[in-house]
């Protein structure tokens, strides 16, 4: 058995306040790691800056490694854990910025980074798209990284699975009203690739978006090991009643945690043969540009 404990944090970042967000992340790391042994903590997409920063992204972008990565890597080393988190990164050419997820290890080392390939809407103005999908060999197992809208493209998760990923880490800013879409994509990617999925989605409001959380950990047969549900009213709300005028409960800052066995990936792949029975010769249309 290769059992590991994974936690996915849903947090509300303050828009453009990198130091404040790093402090809150550090507090979450301490809280999660002190409440139970944990091997990996996953934070949402762009958690160091928030989402609607627009033209300020180049000013807030950092090198990898750089101050933000070094700080989180130090916390990872102190706690002896892996941490994945989203940030805006830059190349040495200041004007080139990416929507990035960084994975740091328990020795304080940089395990790897992934630049988001599938940019959505105004992200195309702010960021340059990544051009490579990568998996990373860690002491936990083989990990693939996805960001936000990447989840909507089955080719991404499948490519990572074919490269050996046993655990897909999803860092996201998925917004209302797309809760059902988020849940279905998570379960589908786990099922169709027989992988574990650890997904952290942020909460909170920004000028144009409301983010709903529902951070989750799923198994290779679609089983939901842990999820953070939005609190529900204690009683049914009837139209026209006073309660109908009350603002519904908001998603909370919290974390989901689960103990998983990565050996189940190999077992289920052998049972289902879902990867072994592929017929790539008949899938040519998949790699054609629309």
Helix or strand holding residue 181 (H, E): helix 179-193
In the Cβ-directed half-sphere of 133, how many Cα atoms lie within 13 Å?
24
Q: What is the mean pLDDT of residues 35-43?
A: 97
The pLDDT of residue 102: 98
Residue 123, φ and ψ in degrees, nearest 5: -60, -30
- Could you give the CA distance from residue 235 to residue 222 in angstroms, rounded to a whole number? 30
> Is residue 206 predicted with pLDDT exceeding 80?
yes
Q: What percent of the chain has pLDDT over 70?
A: 93
Residue with tokens 């996805």: 146
Residue with tokens 């290779």: 220
3-class DSSP assignment, residue 46:
coil
Q: CATH number of 3-234+244-287: 3.60.110.10, 3.40.50.300, 2.40.128.20, 1.10.1050.10?
A: 3.60.110.10
Contact 43, 85 (CB under 8 A): yes
Mean model confidence pLDDT for the chain = 93
How does pLDDT run across 224-248, given as a tens digit for each residue?
999 998 766 555 555 665 555 556 6
Sign of CA dihedral 152, 51, 112, 226: negative
The pLDDT of residue 168: 98
Residue 185: pLDDT band (50, 70, 90) is very high
CA 70-197-86 angle, to 5 degrees, is 30
Which two three-digit tokens encode residue 137?
């060999």
> Is residue 111 predicted with pLDDT exceeding 80?
yes
DSSP-derived pairing of the beta strands 210-212 and 203-205: antiparallel
DSSP bridge partners of 99: 88
- Could you give the CA distance from residue 110 to residue 102 in angstroms, rounded to a whole number? 8
Nearest CA-CA partner of 213 in 24, 68, 8, 16: 8
Contact 204, 211 (CB under 8 A): yes
**More confident: 245 or 196:** 196
Nearest CA-CA partner of 260 in 140, 99, 118, 88: 140
DSSP bridge partners of 8: 42, 256
- The ranges assigned to domains in the chain are 3-234+244-287
């Amino acid at each position: 058995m290769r059992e590991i404990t994974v936690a996915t944090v849903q947090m509300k970042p303050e828009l453009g306040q990198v130091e404040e967000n790093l402090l809150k992340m550090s507090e979450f790391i301490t809280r999660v790691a002190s409440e139970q042994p944990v091997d990996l903590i996953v934070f949402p997409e762009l958690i160091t800056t928030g989402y609607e920063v627009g033209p300020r992204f180049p000013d807030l972008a950092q090198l990898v490694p750089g101050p933000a990565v070094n700080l989180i890597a130090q916390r990872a080393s102190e706690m002896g854990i892996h941490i994945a988190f989203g940030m805006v990164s830059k190349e040495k050419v200041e004007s080139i910025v990416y929507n990035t997820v960084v994975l740091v290890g328990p020795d304080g080392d940089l395990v790897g980074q992934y630049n988001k390939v599938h940019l959505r809407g105004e992200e195309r103005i702010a960021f340059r798209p990544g051009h490579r999908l990568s998996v990373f060999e860690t002491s936990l197992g083989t990990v693939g990284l996805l960001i936000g809208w990447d989840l909507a493209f089955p080719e991404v998760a499948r490519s990572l699975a074919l490269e050996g990923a046993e655990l897909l880490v999803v860092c996201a800013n998925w917004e209302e009203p797309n809760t059902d879409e988020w849940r279905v994509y998570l379960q589908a990617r786990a099922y169709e690739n027989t992988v574990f999925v650890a997904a952290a989605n942020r909460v909170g409001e920004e000028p144009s978006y409301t983010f709903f959380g529902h951070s989750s950990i799923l198994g290779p047969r679609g089983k939901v090991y842990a999820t953070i549900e939005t609190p529900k009213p204690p009683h049914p709300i009837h139209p026209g009643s006073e309660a109908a005028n009350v603002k519904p409960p908001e998603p909370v800052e919290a974390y989901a945690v689960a103990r998983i066995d990565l050996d189940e990936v190999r077992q289920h792949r052998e049972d289902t043969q879902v990867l072994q029975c592929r017929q790539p010769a008949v899938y040519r249309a998949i790699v054609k540009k629309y």
